[in-house]
Each structure stands twice: as structure tokens, then as C-alpha cells.
Amino acid sequence: MTSLSLNSIGVEKLRGVGPLLSAKLQKLGLYSVQDLLFHLPLRYIDRTKITPIGGVQPLTEVVIEGEVRGSDVVFSRRRSLVCRVQDHSGLMTLRFFHFNQAQQQSLQPGTKLRCFGEVRRGKSGLEMYHPEYQLLNQAQPPALAETLTPIYPATEGVTQQRIRDLCGQALRLLEQHSIEDWLPAELVNSHSNYSLVDALHLLHNPPPGTAINLLAEGEHPAQQRLASEELIAHHLSLLRLRQKIQLQAAPALLPNQAAADRFLAQLPFTLTAAQQRVAGDISADISQPIPMLRLIQGDVGAGKTVVAALGAVQAVANGMQAALMAPTEILAEQHRVNFETWLAPLGIRIAWLTGKLKGKAREVQLAAIADGSAQIVIGTHALFQEAVVFHNLGLTIIDEQHRFGVHQRLALRKKGAVIDTEIDEEGSTPHQLIMTATPIPRTLAMSAYADLDCSVIDELPPGRKPIETVVLNELRRNDVIERVRASCQDGRQAYWVCTLIEESDVLEAQAAEATAQELQLLLSELSVGLIHGRLKPKEKVQMMQAFKAGEINLLVATTVIEVGVDVPNASLMIIENSERLGLSQLHQLRGRVGRGSQSSHCVLLYSAPLSGNGAARLKIMRETNDGFKIAEKDLEIRGPGEVLGTRQTGDMQFRIADLQRDAHLLPEVKRMAIKLLQDYAHNVDPLIARWLGHSEQYGQA
């Protein structure tokens, strides 16, 4: 066996691969023979045995053999070629919607066939639609497959047969050349009986008798061996990122007890023990000359913003700027109002920047940011545009980071460092604090945020009462309207949230306008307000201020109010078509009430019939107010990609690992990753490259 690296043999060296196919393979991330070896099957089909027709079960994929007993072209809604095939045990119908005359001629009665396909129930009993088939008219029938047949991730213009052939060539090269196992034997042997080579051979060509049920569930020991390695590679990429960032200098923002005491003294409330603990974590981090990388988790209403503000005060007390970025203008505006209320008495000046701010007003804000007269800057993603130059940025705070998407998370961290290295003579990078009110299940936090320290604010301010949640059929809408009337006449305020399936600002706005008009007619004695995504920023702010001041009894809104709205007197939330929303969004919306001392209620209206997932979501909402329990359930229902907001980008799509299924591996993965960094540092980069390849930066934020 030679030591030629399979990573250095390009796919174009394989038989049958020209420039055109090579370009198509690159779309699948396949550049080398090693890439092909780690291009693992999605599932398997069993063509190793023939199943008697009488023993076939619906919704299974099988190989059958038999003789054509009848063949007819049938005209119903669609023209089809229908063949009846019989063996010693029963009869099966083959149905072809696309066929030609030659095919029709070849499938005449008396012809012997071997067919493979999925069996379904049809008009004439069990049927196969467009099965693969071979004619068995020769004396010696072709041999059956010797292994389970893999089904690979594919792309347009690359057939399964072509990928199987290329993976077969790669496996033959694996027998001639060695492949480096970057996991040391002492780490592998402790938890797997499979070597890397054995695991690859089995997964590409599982022999007959391999437990196909274990393969289907991803629980075969060979799969678990590679899943561990893939999770270790992802974990290492984040730890390596953390190392890189913490090699950079950061300003040491030393604690200033006098400034902190002045800030706390003028607050109308006292920090909870959890808030004090997390504030201490932040203060200790930013006083060090290495960049803070900290995630604050806290349930809706736990008081993350005031803890972040205390960190900003420490930055300002050290002569540095702090920037707070929020995903929506409403949330950014809410932060601006809070920060100005808390910090104006301390003489701290705040700048405000969003994408909608134009002309002279924008120039004034940019100038204040650049010359340092604005000590704290609050805004949307506009803060990280090229035209924005900070004077001396010491701390960046990102709120509701999951709303920005993974790539923006990466861009923000880079932008923060670039801004600072351009301006700061020492080339330091700012400290970074990330906040989320969408609790992240522990398994996801361990894997997706391994580069961040994590603090949890795990208690609500005193006096907060749990929100009572009821789930009602849309048919009881009139009862709900009467409930709104009673609540508002009692001096309380209410939200009515409209949701649509279509992701369209225009349609959402129209639906909200129609609902607001209807409710104003039915509740003529109340003042009904309206807020949606198509209003101008100034109009949104005015509407929210009027609602907060009590001038509006009932606020009809789209999901723009999901985060950042804080009106203590609002104690009733109605969510229409609640079955269309995810758990995280429902929990966020519900968190807009329950902010005062009185009892609060949330009504989830749904339209029947409910899907299984829809019913499960509404049930958990009714049963608990605990955001972490809700997050675990959300993970169970939707899977990790969607919970983290990465599914739509194709990022964090594992080849073989599954964060939910393989959660039991994560503690050992974490231990092994640290051991590799400490004792086998030269193995780390090739291991990351093998599994993450060209997508290594997915979590670098």
C-alpha cells in the first residue's frame, strides 16, 4: 500500500470524468478521491434478494421476478401501459405513464422480467409505477447485487449510477493507497470497533445481512464512528476560530464601580441574582485584553438588555464606544428608548442609525460616531455598512442574533474587527456580546456555539406571573372578541396578531388592515391601532408610543411585534392562525404580555384541521411558559437546521451526523476535540478540511 494522499488525486483522474462532469461534481463539493469516499449515502435499497410477489408489502422497495401475463394501453385520466406480472405466489401490476412503442413491444405476454421498485396500493391491488426492469429471456439470468445499493446525494446531470461507479473507483484506490486516520488510535478504540477504512467500505457497500434498520436510523456502529469524527471536526472548527480570535488584542475595559453604582442607583428596579451573576461574567470578560465571545441566553422578559447596558457603561467609563445592533427597527427603537432613559442621567450620548435614516440626519449621526462624541451607537444592520466608521469601538452587542442568519453573524464579527483595526492604532478587536431570548437547547448550544462562552439568565424579575394560554378553534372568534372588549373596558390593553402562510409584506399588511377595520366596527367604543411591516419607521414608532401611552386599547399587528415591544399594561394577546407559526415565534409573541404585575392571557386561535406538528406545537404552548422546554420541543419537531436558522442556507448540513440523534456523542466529542487541540494539534486542520472542506466558515461568527 503506497502513501499517496487520496486528497491529492483529483476526480478528473478517474475513468469517465471529463471537464463537464468534473464541474458538476464540484457543485456537490467533490474535488478529490477523498471527497468521494466521504460523500456518504443518504439511504440504501436492497437488491440482493428476490421477494415472492405473494410476500410483498406496500410501501417497500423490492426485487421481483415473474412472467408478463397481460399488457395493455389503458386510457383513463392519463394514458398508461399496464402490465400484469405473475410468479408462483401472486400477481403484480406494473404501470408506465411514459413509454414508447419499442417498450410496449418488449413487454408482451410470455416475457420474463426482473423488476425493482416501490410497491403501492393501486386500483388493481399492489402496483409498481415505472419500475426498473431487465428482460430475462437469456438462458443465464444476470446476477443479483452482492451488497445493499447506496443512494447518494446527487445533483442535476449526475446520475446515481455514475456516482456509484465513481465511489467504486475511489474504494479501489483506497485499497491501493493509505488514507490518514486523523483520530489517534487511543481516542478511536475507546468508543468504536471500526477503523476508518472498514467504516468507509461498509457504508459504501454494505454486505447482505447488514442491519438495514440500523443503517436507516443512522445508528449502525460504522455510521456512529464517522458521525463522531464529523462532529469532532465541526467542534474543532469553532474552537480553532475561538483560538484565532483570542490571539488578537482587545481593549482591557476595567471595572468602574462608581459608574456602575450610578447606573444601578437610578434604575426603577433591582437586578435579580441571575442578572447580577451574568453582569459579573461580562465585566470580568471585558476587563481582559483578549476579545470576549459571550452568548447571553434568557427567556422572554428575563432582563438581558439592562445587563448589556451595564457592560456598555463599563466600556464608556474606559473611554471606548459600544454598539448595539438589533434585527428590526422596532427592536432597535425599543433599545434606544431604554438606553436613553437609563443613560441620559449619566450624561452618556447615544447615536441612532438605521437603513431608513437618510440625508442630513444620517450625516450628523455618522459624524458623531466617527469623532467619538456618540459614546453608544444603537441601530440595525446598517451599523456595519462601509460608510460607518467608529472612533474607538470597544464592545459590540448583537441582539436576537439568530434573526441575522449564520453568514451575517460571521460578517459582523469580521466587520467589527476591520472597523477597529482601521481606526485603532494598536489594531485591537472589540469585545463581542451576543444576546438571544430564543433559548437554545443544550445540545445545539454545545455544538453550534462552541466558540462562545454561555451565560443564562434563568430567573424572571419578581412579580411576573405566568401567562395563561388557551387554544381555541377559529369558530369561537366572536367569544374572543367579547373577551377583548371586557379586558379593555377593565382598563387593560390587548394585542391582536395576524399571520399569513405567504411571506409577503403586502399581503400581511392587507390582512392586518382588514382585521383592524373589522375589529373597529365590532368594538366601536375602543380605540384600535394598526402596525405592520409596510408602515414607515416613523409611523411604527408613533403607533407604538401611542399604545404604550394608553391612547390605543387594541393593537392589531403582524409578527413585526415579535421582539422588542414592552408595554406592561398589555395583558391579553390574541394570535390568529397560530398553527402556522413555529414554537419559537409563538413563544416570542406571547412574551409581549405578562410584563406587568397583573394576570396575563394568551389566546391561540387555530383553523381546523390541525396537522400533527401543529397540534404538538399548540399543546406545548398551553402546557408551559418555560422557553427552554419549548426550545427542546422545537428541536424535536423541526430539527437542528431550522431551529438555528441555517436550513435555508444549506449550512451546517452534516454528511452523516445528526445533532438530535447523536446528542449522546456530544460530551465525548467535546472531550476528544480538546484532547486533539492539546496533544495532536497537527491533526486538527486536515480533519477540519476533510469534513467541512469549502464550508468551514459556516459557524465563524
**Cα angle: 506, vertex 504, 508; to 5 degrees:** 60
Mean pLDDT of 555-567: 74
Supply the pLDDT for residue 639: 65
Supply the pLDDT for residue 413: 54
Report the alpha-carbon distance of residue 356 to residue 333 in Å, rounded. Answer: 13
- Look at residue 207 and tell me whether its pLDDT is greater than 90: no
Element (H, E) at 75: strand 61-75
Supply the pLDDT for residue 701: 40
In this predicted model, which residue has the larger pLDDT, 107 or 696?
A: 107
Mean pLDDT of 173-194: 82
pTM metric for this prediction? 0.71
Which of 23-27, 141-145, 253-257, 677-681 is predicted least confidently? Answer: 141-145
Cα 5 to chain center, whole Å? 35
Supply the pLDDT for residue 504: 58
Superfamily of domain 53-135: Nucleic acid-binding proteins (2.40.50.140)
Which of 21-25, 212-216, 263-267, 478-482 is predicted least confidently? Answer: 212-216
Task: Spell out the alpha helix ranges (H) of 121-272.
Answer: 160-176, 185-188, 196-204, 212-217, 221-247, 257-265
Q: What is the pLDDT of residues 104-162, one digit of tens each?
A: 888 999 999 999 999 999 888 899 998 988 888 767 778 888 888 899 988 888 888 89
Report the alpha-carbon distance of residue 565 to residue 334 in Å, rounded. Answer: 7
Selection from 90-99, 132-141, 234-243 with the highest mean pLDDT: 90-99
Whole-angstrom CA distances from 577 to 378, 477, 590, 618 are 34, 11, 14, 11
- 526-542 exposure pattern, b = at least 16 Cβ within 10 A, e = fewer: bbbbbbbbebebeebbe
Q: Which architecture characterizes domain 253-457 according to CATH?
A: 3-Layer(aba) Sandwich (3.40)
Which of 244-253, 420-429, 461-470 is predicted least confidently? Answer: 420-429
In which region does residue 302 sit, left (phi positive, over 0), alpha (psi from -120 to 50) or beta (all else)? alpha
Burial of 501 (0-12, 13-18, 19+ CB in 10 A): exposed
Q: What is the pLDDT of residues 8-51, one digit of tens each?
A: 899 999 999 999 999 999 988 899 999 999 999 998 888 888 99
Output DSSP code: residue 177: B
- Look at residue 696 and tell me whether its pLDDT is greater than 60: no
Q: What is the pLDDT of residues 622-670, one digit of tens each?
A: 999 888 888 888 877 766 655 555 433 334 568 898 877 888 888 889 8
Taking alpha carbons only, the member of 284, 37, 308, 340 closest to residue 166 is 37
Query: What does CATH list as the number for 468-624?
Result: 3.40.50.300
In which region does residue 394 sit, left (phi positive, over 0), alpha (psi from -120 to 50) or beta (all else)? alpha
- In CATH terms, are 253-457 and 468-624 the same topology? yes
Mean pLDDT of 618-623: 93
Helix axes 221-247, 196-204, angle to 10 degrees: 120
* Paired strand residues for 324: 378, 397
Supply the pLDDT for residue 594: 84
Mean pLDDT of 406-417: 52
Could you tell me the pLDDT band of residue 289, with boundaries at 50, 70 and 90?
very high
- Boundaries of every domain in the chain: 6-45+149-219, 53-135, 253-457, 468-624
Count of alpha carbons within 13 Å of 437, Cβ hemisphere only? Answer: 25
In this predicted model, which residue has the larger pLDDT, 243 or 576?
A: 576
Cell of 507: 399581503
- The pair phi, psi for residue 80, each rounded to 5°, is -145, 155
Output DSSP code: residue 580: G
Cell of 542: 408613533
Supply the pLDDT for residue 647: 35
- Look at residue 424 and tell me whether its pLDDT is greater than 50: no
Mean pLDDT of 343-364: 90
Taking alpha carbons only, the member of 361, 408, 363, 414 closest to residue 387 is 363
Supply the pLDDT for residue 165: 94
Q: What is the pLDDT of residues 488-540, one digit of tens each?
A: 999 999 999 988 655 556 676 778 899 999 999 999 999 999 988 788 877 88
